[in-house]
Structure 1
Amino acid sequence: MAFVCNAIWTVKPGSEEIVREALESLSPATRTEPGNIYYQSYVDPEVPNVFRIFEVYKDADAFAAHGQYDHFKEHALGKAIPELETRVRELYETLDY
C-alpha cells in the first residue's frame, strides 16, 4: 500500500507569492526523493490564497523521511509554513485492489 497526503495550505493575505515561490523549489526537489511516487501542488485561480498539495509515497516511512530532507526544511518549514493561516494534512493509505 502507498501512503497519501492531501495537504491544504491557506495563506495569510499578501503572502501568496512567497508560498508559490517556495513550492516552485520544493515540488521538483521532492519528486527526486527515493520514496516519492507523486507530488503535485495546485491552486484554484478563483481562490489564490489556498494551495493544495497531493503527495504519494511508497509508505509511511517515506512520508516521514520527506520532512527530514533539507529542501523541505528550507522551502516548507523555512519559507512557506510561516506564511500560512492554516495547514491541514489528510492522510490515507491506498487500497491495492
Structure 2
Amino acid sequence: MTELLVVAHWTISAGAEEKVRALLPRFIEASRAEPGCISFVGYQQLDHDRTIVLLERYASREAFEAHRDTPHFKGLALEQIVPCLERRVVETYDVPG
C-alpha cells in the first residue's frame, strides 16, 4: 500500500477566525486518533493570520477515505469549519516508496 500525503490550504473568512481556531484543535486531535492516520499537523501562516495549512499523512488512500467518513470530519470540518472559510484547496499526493 502507498501512503498518502494531504495538504489542505484554508483561508478563514474575516470575522470567523475565533470560531475556526476554537474548533481546529478538536478536529486535529480526533483526526490524529484515527487508526490510519500517521500524522496530522496544522500551521498558521506568519504574515497572514487567516491562512491555515494542514499537513496530513495517511497509511493509504483507503485510510484517507475512512477519515472523510468520520463523524469529526463530517460534523466539525464540513458542517462547522468549511462554512467559515473563504477558500479551501485540498491537494493529495502518493508518497513514493
Deviation track 1:3-50 (CA, whole Å, cap 9, x = no partner) reads 010000111111111111111100011011011000001102321111
Structure 2: runs of 5 or more not aligned: none
TM-score normalised according to structure 2 size: 0.94
Q: How far has the Cα of 1:85 moved from its partner?
A: 1.1
Amino acid at match of 2:45: D
Match of 1:77 in 2: 78
Equivalent pairs counted in the alignment come to 96
* Equivalent residue number for residue 20 of structure 1: 21
TM-score, normalised to structure 1's length?
0.94
Greater strand fraction, Structure 1 or Structure 2: 1
Q: Distance in 1 between matches of 2:80 and 2:71?
A: 13
CA distances 1:47-66 after superposition (whole Å, capped 9, x unpaired): 11111100000011110111
- Aligned CA RMSD, in angstroms, stands at 0.9
Q: Structure 2: how far apart are the matches of 1:36 and 1:90?
A: 16
CA distance in 2 between counterparts of 1:62 and 1:17 reads 30
Q: Which runs of 4+ in 1 moved over 2 A?
A: none
Aligned position for 2:93: 92
Q: Runs of 5+ in structure 1 lacking a partner?
A: none
**In structure 1, the residue corresponding to 2:76 is in which secondary structure?**
helix
